[in-house]
Amino acid sequence: MKTALIALATASLVAGSAIAAPVTYNVDPDHTYPSFEADHFGGLSVWRGKFNSNSGKVVFDQAAKSGTVDIVIDMKSVDFGHDKMNQHASSPDMLDVAKFPTATFKGKLAAFKGNAPGEVQGTLTLHGVTKPVTLKVNSFVCKENPMTKKEVCGADAAATINRADFGVDYGKALGFNMDIKLLLTIEAIKAN
C-alpha cells in the first residue's frame, strides 16, 4: 500500500511538472506595435511615432507564473508619419540608426495578478546604452485566435524613460522634455 501511494505521488509530481512546462511564443510583427510619445519644445505639442519592424519571443509558464520577453526593434523603421522628421530622428543628432541599428528589451514577467503579469522587469538597450526599465502591463491574455486557430498571447504595456539617460538628448538646450512614453502592444504566436 505504501509503495502504491509513493508511486501515485511520484506520478502526480511528474504529471504536474509536465503541465507547468514553459511555452515559447514568437512575436507576430504584423500585430505588434511599438510606439512612443515625445515632447516638442517643452509642452508645445506631443509627437507620436512608431517602429514598423520588430521581432522577438516570449516564454511563458502560466502554472509557475513566470516567463521572459526578448524584443528587437529595427530602429531604421522609425515612423512619425512625416518623412523629414523620420530622416532627422534617424540621423546622428538623435537615434543614429547607422551606428545603432537595433534597440532591445529583455525582461522577466513579474507581479502576477492571477494568471496575468502586472509588469515586465528588464533592461532596455537603446543608442548603445543599457538601463533597467519596468513595463507596466495594462492587459494580458492568452487564447486561441478564432481566425488562425493558433494559441496566441497578447499584451498592452507602457513605461516612461528619460531619453537623455540613453544618450539621446537632442533638443534639451531648446527646452525639450527628455521624458519619452513607451507603448508596446504585442501579440505572440505559440511556436510549433
Q: Where are the domains of the chain?
A: 22-190
What are the tens digits of pLDDT across the range 32-57? 999 999 999 999 999 999 999 999 99
CATH class of domain segment(s) 22-190: mainly beta
Grade residue 192 by pLDDT with cuts at 50, 70 and 90: confident
* Banded pLDDT at 16 (limits 50, 70, 90): very low
User: How large is the average pLDDT for residues 71-97?
Assistant: 97
Residue 107 · residue 67 · CB < 8 Å:
no
- Which of 4 and 126 is assigned the larger pLDDT? 126
Q: What's the one-letter identity of residue 76?
A: K
Predicted confidence at residue 9, as pLDDT, reads 44
User: What residues contact residue 4 under an 8 Å CB cut-off, 6+ apart?
Assistant: none
Closest by CA position to 182, among listed 113, 109, 133, 144: 133
pLDDT exceeds 50 at position 107: yes
> Given pLDDT bands bounded at 50, 70 and 90, which one contains residue 100?
very high
Distance CA 116, CA 157 (A): 12
The overall average pLDDT reported for the chain is 92
Mean pLDDT confidence for 139-148:
96
Q: Which three cell numbers stand for residue 20?
A: 507547468
The fraction of the chain above a pLDDT of 90, given in percent, is: 89
Total number of residues shown for the chain = 192
Q: Quick count: other Cβ atoms within 10 Å of Cβ 179?
A: 13
Does residue 6 surpass a pLDDT of 50? no
Q: Is residue 18 predicted with pLDDT exceeding 50?
A: no
Nearest-angstrom CA–CA distance, 176 and 182: 17
